[in-house]
Amino acid sequence: MKPINWHYPRTELARHYLTTVGRGPVSRLVLLGARRIGKTAFLLHDVCAHAVELKFMPVYLNLWENPQAPQEVITETLQRYLTALDDKGIEAVQELLSSEITKLDINFGILHSAVETGSVASVSPASLKKISSLFRKLVSRAGQAGFRPLIVIDEVQHLNTADSFWDIQGTLRTQFDSFPQTCVIFAGSSRGGINAMFNTQESLCGSIIKPMPFFQSAMLIDFPLLDEDFVHHFYALLIAEFALDYPQAELSYVFRKVGESPFWFRMVMAELITLRLHPFAALEIVQERMKLDGDFDGIARQLRPLDVQVYLRLCNNLPVYTQSFFEQAVQLTGRKRVTKSAVQKSVTKLLNKRLLTKAGHSYFNEIPGLPSFLGEE
């Protein structure tokens, strides 16, 4: 029996990013987005797959593969890709990428970082030197084979979770600057962490203020959420492969309710296919899992009613410092009055708890599914 390819391709988007880094004035991009919205799947299935057609040699690095020692992930990965290219050429590189896809499919993209800031050993000068030397080799070999290096770094915010990782950032930045033919696509799942890395000029590293190595070295882009076409892809697969004809509108509703996360939506699909449930019944089961997985009850207990209202407004890009919201919040929370400073306090709390992050003047939800959960409480 042939397996079904569940991946919904985003070829146009991948080509757009590839031409942006390949031809545009910026050769480095950071794709930003909340957890489990399909960044890694997109990088592997779409970006890396099409990169080779455009004469890039993609190298995919996931820094969470060894959170305690990301420098080892970098050296081991560069070495692996170099060996593959030397031994069997670009086809072997493509095989490495396919094995990454298999890994992603097997673990459903679940790879958690267990590192606590500050709990890691320092990065030795020898490993930094090794990164530089392998990188130089890779650029040169790729060039000889007629390819431009495309370094894809997943979970890049991890390099900002410990002071000792700053030197890795510095080494990478120097290499990227020294070999301008190199293109880089980063992905990160913490807007706060990414902002600190790419939008802050200097910061406290241990007890001294140091310049941030990645400051303004890449263009930050919001990774666009999957949309109705994605739902349609699954709707059509259910009909074609399982003779399950659910109304697309119901599936779209479910997709919105799981925070437009393909990860959770695929869990709903699994329930539909195995148990043949109504989509809303499958949604309930999956929402229960989301609740446990994200400790939604625990989060809810720490929030006051005003925090919840402010969170829901900001998730929907609605202003919170308006008289009309203050009045509405009085109705919704039962408080005697709601003032600007009370709202400010809620915003600060939501940012500190990393439920939201701020970029420019906009706020972004970091926890898919939490708005639905809190909105229905």
Ligand X SMILES: Nc1ncnc2c1ncn2[C@@H]1O[C@H](COP(=O)(O)OP(=O)(O)OP(=O)(O)O)[C@@H](O)[C@H]1O
Binding residues for ligand X (CB under 6 A) = 6-8, 33, 35-41, 104, 108-109, 189, 262-263, 266
Shortest Cβ distance from residue 371 to ligand X (Å)? Answer: 17
DSSP secondary structure string, 38-77?
SHHHIIIIIIIHHHHHTTEEEEEEEGGGSTT-HHHHHHHH
Shortest Cβ distance from residue 147 to ligand X (Å)? Answer: 25
Bridge partner list, 365:
356
- Of the two residues 268 and 308, which places its CB atom closer to ligand X in the complex? 268
Radius of gyration of the chain (CA): 22
Using the structure block, give the residue that is written with the tokens 């987005």: 33
- Of the two residues 238 and 258, which places its CB atom closer to Mg ion in the complex? 258
Q: Considering the rule CB under 5 A, would residue 190 count as an interface residue with Mg ion?
A: no
Cβ partners under 8 Å of residue 227, min gap 6: none
* Binding footprint of Mg ion, residue count (CB under 5 A): 2
Q: Considering the rule CB under 5 A, would residue 182 count as an interface residue with Mg ion?
A: no
- Of the two residues 155 and 307, which places its CB atom closer to ligand X in the complex? 155
Task: Find which of ligand X, Mg ion, none residue 279 binds, CB within 5 to 8 Å per kind.
Answer: none
**293: nearest Cα among 367, 227, 235, 357:** 367
Residue 76 φ then ψ, to 5°: -65, -40
The closest residue (CB) to ligand X is 109
Task: Find which of Mg ion, ligand X, none residue 6 binds, CB within 5 to 8 Å per kind.
Answer: ligand X
Q: Stretches 17-25, 40-48, 203-211, 219-227: which one binds Mg ion (CB under 5 A)?
A: 40-48
Q: Which one-letter DSSP state was computed for residue 27?
A: -
Sites for Mg ion among residues 251-310 (CB under 5 A): none
Task: Find which of ligand X, Mg ion, none residue 157 binds, CB within 5 to 8 Å per kind.
Answer: none
Polymer length of the chain: 377
Whether the CB-CB separation of 79 and 31 falls below 8 Å is answered with no
Q: Out of 40, 164, 182, 372, point to the residue binding Mg ion (CB under 5 A).
A: 40
CB atoms within 10 A of CB 314: 23
Shortest Cβ distance from residue 109 to Mg ion (Å)? Answer: 6
Dihedral angle over CA of 363, 366, 371, 374, nearest 10? -110
- Of the two residues 151 and 367, which places its CB atom closer to ligand X in the complex? 367
Q: Stretches 38-46, 48-56, 178-186, 289-297: which one binds Mg ion (CB under 5 A)?
A: 38-46
- Of the two residues 263 and 296, which places its CB atom closer to ligand X in the complex? 263
Q: Which one-letter DSSP state was computed for residue 214?
A: T
